[in-house]
Chain A
Amino acid sequence: MAEATSSSRNKIYALGVVGFLAIISILYYLSAPVYLYIVAYTWFGFIYGALQQYGRFCFASAWRDLIMVRVPRMFVGIMMGLMTLSIISAALMIKYPSFYHPSPIGPHELVGGLIFGLGMVFAGGCATGSLYKSGEGNMISLTVLLTLSFTQAIFVAFPFFDEMMDGLHLTGPNSVGALTPDTWHWPQYLMANKIFNIPQGEHPTFIQNLIGNSLINTILIAMVLLVCVYLIYVRKNFLKRRVVSLTKSADGGEVKMGIGDDLAGFWSMISSSKRTTIAAVLLAVVAAIQVFTMSWMRDDYNFGDDLGGGNFGLVFAQNADGSRRVMFSEAENKTLTPAQKQEKIDSTLKKWPAADPAEATQIKYNGKLEALPGTGGNMFDPGYWYITTQEAMFAGWVIDKVIPESITGNLRAPHYNTDAMYPDNVREVLPPDQEVNGNRYFGGAGVGGGNALPKPWLSPALLLSIGLILGASFLSLWNKEFKWKFPTKELAVYAVGGGILMGIGSRIALGCNIGAFYTRASFGSWGGWLFFFGMGIGAFVSAKAVNYIANKKMAKQMEDMDFDIEL
């Protein structure tokens, strides 16, 4: 009876979470219809959180559980999700080529991944894993999250650390466009130039994307890794059990293993944790749906460009003469009369909030409209699954409010430097008076703009993170898995130490396990793999350290016990 009551109470709390989010969503909409964009981000976060909680989806365990307890479930899940998303991405780039985000490739990805990997094993979760675990009531994960966010922000906000980090970004050039001949991602460069002969500036077809990006740079690497994991971690035990089982049914006769048995073993590895693999594939599908949805909404609310890009910051923006900037497609620019354009601007502005110059950051907007001096809008609005950047922005916003400007400098003003983050071909398009923006995190200017420091409740990506926590809360409450868990001294040390390392790693690599690996690798940017291998090396080292400490603790726990087992 008590059991049933407790179960019902949990379900009521779970529905309460959904109800809370629904009410907040309505309030946003009533405030301004364009805020449905933020609401959409939030609910996508909710779905990510629920799926991650269902699949126990945490990138930390991909390497860690493989190394420490020889469990490949998460490694398999990530590779399956990655391959799925990669195929979808190939199609996505036909309609929305601007979603291709090949990062600058360089040793920073390997080094950043290594430090991130070191931290995530101590912390007990990756960046996105810590989010969903916070939703399960795990305050140790929340500690990790806060430490990670503030570490990143501190390494941007304080000039000493910022300059140190800028010095580490000795990267190769940033490629622009998928499979175009000017890409510096050499497998794609060869495909584009030697195989497909794609003319400069033209976008590849679906098949070209599929072969040149997905197949070569994602699926092939993922499959090789899966085979390696099978051979190293699964094969021996699987075949041993299979021999025993087949020998029994063969009445003791000799049983020989062949390629068919290996295929069965490989399949058993893929299907061993159905919930993880199912969640991984669904997460990939939802991630793709989010890209389509956000692009559609950007167009619908007139702050999107023809390539699927656009920026939510534009809805707060204002020109020096007080006018607003509404985006028109190329077709609209050609066909609409001035009166029709004005009508569209008027109807758009009814859906937008009032301009907020304090919110918008100083920028010469690089959009379809003529750039005018004044306040433009640019904030972090990736349009897809992203995790750590928005949390660093939140921490930056807090630092900006709490710490005097004399110490941090003006976080909102973009500060420029001449580091190597951008190649010459990008620098060449800059106006002579504008340098490359070094402060991509908080400053709002520069090519592509920065992330800026919007109010947290107006930051779409941050609302995705909050939605993710609530989604995990909903499902864990519903399934009676929610439990408040607070850090002991030992776990607090792990959480803070791990969070700091993850923050430093993310800052160096310009992203976490999602932004620096999952999204990049799924779009065929092999720099993402550098981060993943770096994570593996870091995880290996910290797994050894955690294992050593665990052995010490166990020995102490057992030394006075009278067991009839061998110690």
Chain B
Amino acid sequence: MKFNKKDDGSYELDVTGYVCPHPQLYTLKCMDKLQDGMIMEVLIDNPSSIESVTQACNGKGYTILGTNQPKAGVTAMKIQK
């Protein structure tokens, strides 16, 4: 698990290599730390966690700004608090 600051108000969380429940757990814990309006990009390679993160963000009212696949098997999700 790597959590880095990219710019002011912009962070990156890398949870590749992890399986359930770690990616969704770390993603939400890190989002909890952010202030409203801040953005975090999370890298996940566990498909079921992507579904759970999406649902959790919807439930909490976070906005998913976009997703893309930087490489096969890895999804990058940009989430705004």
- Could you tell me which A residues sit within 8 Å of B by CB distance? 6, 10, 53, 56, 58, 60-61, 64-65, 68-73, 121, 124-125, 129, 133, 136-138, 140-141, 234, 237, 241, 272-273, 275-276, 476, 480-483, 485, 488, 491, 543, 546-547, 550-551, 553-554, 557-558, 561-567
Contact = CB atoms under 8 A, between A and B. Distances in A.
A246 to B, nearest CB: 15
Contacts of B30: 554
Contacts of A69: 21, 24-25, 28, 52, 56
24 contacts: A10-B72, A60-B20, A65-B24, A65-B52, A69-B21, A69-B24, A69-B25, A69-B28, A69-B52, A71-B24, A124-B21, A125-B20, A241-B61, A273-B51, A276-B51, A482-B72, A485-B19, A488-B17, A491-B19, A546-B21, A551-B29, A554-B26, A566-B33, A567-B33
Contacts of A61: 20-21, 48, 52
B45 to A, nearest CB: 5
Nearest to B25: A550
A291 to B, nearest CB: 27
Interface of B: 1-3, 5, 8, 17-22, 24-26, 28-30, 33-35, 38, 45-48, 51-52, 54-56, 58-61, 69, 71-74
A53 B47 contact: yes
A185 B55 CA distance: 38
B28 to A, nearest CB: 5
A272 B8 CA distance: 33
Contacts of A485: 17, 19, 45-46
B49 to A, nearest CB: 9
Nearest to B75: A481
B35 A565 contact: yes
B59 A125 contact: no
Nearest to B34: A565
A561 B20 contact: no
A481 B20 contact: no
A483 B72 contact: yes
A140 B29 CA distance: 23
B73 A482 contact: yes
Contact of B3 (A138, A241, A557): A557
B5 A561 contact: yes
Contact of A546 (B17, B25, B33): B25
A133 B19 contact: yes
A65 B19 contact: no
Contacts of B52: 56, 61, 65, 69, 71, 73
B8 A56 contact: no
B59 A124 contact: no
A446 to B, nearest CB: 39
Nearest to B59: A237
A551 B29 CA distance: 8
